[in-house]
Amino acid sequence: MTSVPDLVTPTWEYAPAPESRAIATLRASYGLFIDGAFADPVDGGVRKTVNPATEEVLAEVADAGPKDVDRAVQAARRAFIEVWGPMPGRERAKYLYRVARLIQERAREFAVLETLDNGKPIRESRDVDVPLAAAHFFHHAGWADKLAHAGYGPDPRPLGVAAQVIPWNFPLLMAAWKLAPALATGNTVVLKPAETTPLSALLLAEVLQQAGLPPGVVNIVTGDGATGAALVAHPDVDKVAFTGSTEVGKAIQRQLAGTRTRLTLELGGKAANVVFDDAPLDQAVEGIVNGIFFNQGHVCCAGSRLLVQESLHDELLDRLKERLGTLRLGDPLDKNTDIGAINSAEQLQRITELAASGEAEGAQRWSPDCALPERGFWFAPTVFTGVAQSHRIAQEEIFGPVLSVLTFRTPQEAVEKANNTPYGLSAGVWTDKGSLILWMAQRLRAGVVWANTFNRFDPTSPFGGYKESGFGREGGRQGLGAYLDVEVDA
């Protein structure tokens, strides 16, 4: 056997490849979008929104106060009664198609803005967030005039005014997930974007104006938790849709107790990514990496618990660590960046604290060599091995790039461990055996099961959780029910 001699290996550094930020026009300040126009808050304030990769201030945005929220709800109510409610589905559809097209036309602008405000890599905003957002509007546009055939009876009616509160992890996409079905089914909306990521929603407001959407059909009230609470509590809201933490979700469910306001919740998760020893190994490694490091782990359905069959553990970890060594962390605007910034100082603090608990409780911590930039909020991809079910890092949602690795011996044990959590949003299964995939899928108590893949989303694919991960689904025919008057007993 001829041995190839050890060579002087070149290092090949990929030069910086930044996407230009010029395309995203940033205003110095933004007002609230109410009744078709931007206006200063009446009884709210202003706050600064920051680029988490650099800590630079991007813009000032308004904080809606209770009077502003009231004004928004009133605008939505009037638009529902006078304009959107009576409008035939066929016409509503055409507005939504316009919005989908406009997002596609201005895709690059949206992608850059999203990356600046959120910290996620431009490759992800460009290739995932923005295209999916457009697709959600496009898919739901087509439902607007077909509701009679959607399995909700011959004439399902909208609920009226929907209050929607969305998180910071996929700001534009979450806005699309909320607005598209609500509008398609004939509701009007007051949307509250997350405190740290208002900008893409405000650009979307401009798109809605460009689409000619009648004033008041969509209102966007930026602000913090207090704004969200005021909105959810408003007496003239018919429906609340919330995506965010389980803790806040429960508070909202308590708040709406005894009212007739409908509610759907999409909350946290602690998904198990189950890898059997006959998995397609290299793709499983990709699936694990994608599962927990995509979007810096800021994903409710992240595969944050790796459940690996014990016989495969050492080999899989070796390959995983080698693969993590090729991840590129840095400037989110660089097209070659794989891992961007953590969204805020608060979130970074939480991740740091939970990771510290992992070490304190006896798990072994590992990260690839990673130079973290000086300014901004950054956390290196981290893997904990030797994790037990009882460890905090196995139970609590970290919402960051931290993977906890546990083992199992049999499929039954894998199911038991995977389901042993109050959450139930998603799960992953990796095996070459088809019957095992279906057996596992049947038993995993999770709203989404990814088999030999992970983190796939589509407007036709219903998404939502079991147990404390929430109730209700978004996407697909099943997702329409959240916005239609299909209460069990009228």
- Please list every residue from 466 through 485 that binds other proteins, using CB under 8 A: 466-471, 473, 476-478
Kindly identify the residues of this chain, within the stretch 92-151, that bind other proteins according to CB under 8 A.
Answer: 123, 127, 135, 151
Kindly identify the residues of this chain, within the stretch 173-232, that bind other proteins according to CB under 8 A.
Answer: none
Using CA atoms, how far residue 287 sits from 270, 337, 397, 433, 462, in Å, is: 16, 18, 19, 17, 21
Residue 352 or 461 having the CB closest to other proteins:
461
Kindly identify the residues of this chain, within the stretch 322-341, that bind other proteins according to CB under 8 A.
Answer: 326, 335-336
Is 368 one of the binding residues for other proteins (CB under 8 A)? no
Among the residue ranges 29-37, 276-284, 389-397, 403-411, the one whose residues contact other proteins (CB under 8 A): 276-284
Task: Determine the size of the site formed for other proteins (CB under 8 A).
Answer: 81
171-184 and 199-210 helices cross at what angle (nearest 10)? 40
Contact 219, 72 (CB under 8 A): yes
Among the residue ranges 69-77, 249-257, 347-355, 386-394, the one whose residues contact other proteins (CB under 8 A): 249-257
Residue 93 or 279 having the CB closest to other proteins:
279
Question: Which one of 22, 28, 257, 371 is in contact with other proteins (CB under 8 A)?
Answer: 257
Question: Among 391, 383, 390, which Cα is nearest to 365's?
Answer: 383
Is 253 one of the binding residues for other proteins (CB under 8 A)? yes
Is 11 one of the binding residues for other proteins (CB under 8 A)? yes
Contact 131, 107 (CB under 8 A): yes
Question: Which one of 74, 219, 227, 246 is in contact with other proteins (CB under 8 A)?
Answer: 246
Among the residue ranges 8-16, 26-34, 223-231, 396-404, the one whose residues contact other proteins (CB under 8 A): 8-16
Residue 56 or 282 having the CB closest to other proteins:
282
CB of 139 to other proteins, least distance (A): 9
Question: Which one of 86, 155, 235, 260 is in contact with other proteins (CB under 8 A)?
Answer: 260
Is 3 one of the binding residues for other proteins (CB under 8 A)? yes
CB of 60 to other proteins, least distance (A): 33
Question: Among 30, 36, 41, 29, which Cα is nearest to 69's?
Answer: 41
The CA-CA-CA angle for residues 75, 80, 84, to 5°, reads 120
- From the CA atom positions of the chain, what is the Rg in Å? 23
CB of 188 to other proteins, least distance (A): 22
Task: Provide the pairing of β-strand 402-408 with 305-309.
Answer: parallel
Kindly identify the residues of this chain, within the stretch 74-103, that bind other proteins according to CB under 8 A.
Answer: none
Residue 230's CB is within 10 A of a number of other CB atoms, namely 22
Residue 28 or 254 having the CB closest to other proteins:
254
Residue 328's CB is within 10 A of a number of other CB atoms, namely 13
The Cα–Cα gap between 347 and 118 comes to: 12
Task: Provide the pairing of β-strand 45-50 with 57-63.
Answer: antiparallel
Kindly identify the residues of this chain, within the stretch 411-470, that bind other proteins according to CB under 8 A.
Answer: 422, 432, 437, 441, 446-453, 456, 458, 460-464, 466-470
Residues classed as catalytic = 266, 300
Question: Among 485, 483, 486, which Cα is nearest to 164's?
Answer: 483
Among the residue ranges 172-180, 196-204, 248-256, 353-361, the one whose residues contact other proteins (CB under 8 A): 248-256
CB of 191 to other proteins, least distance (A): 23
CB of 468 to other proteins, least distance (A): 5
Kindly identify the residues of this chain, within the stretch 17-46, that bind other proteins according to CB under 8 A.
Answer: 17
Residue 352 or 452 having the CB closest to other proteins:
452
- State which amino acid sits at residue 233: A
Is 352 one of the binding residues for other proteins (CB under 8 A)? no
Residue 212 or 422 having the CB closest to other proteins:
422
Kindly identify the residues of this chain, within the stretch 294-313, that bind other proteins according to CB under 8 A.
Answer: 311-312
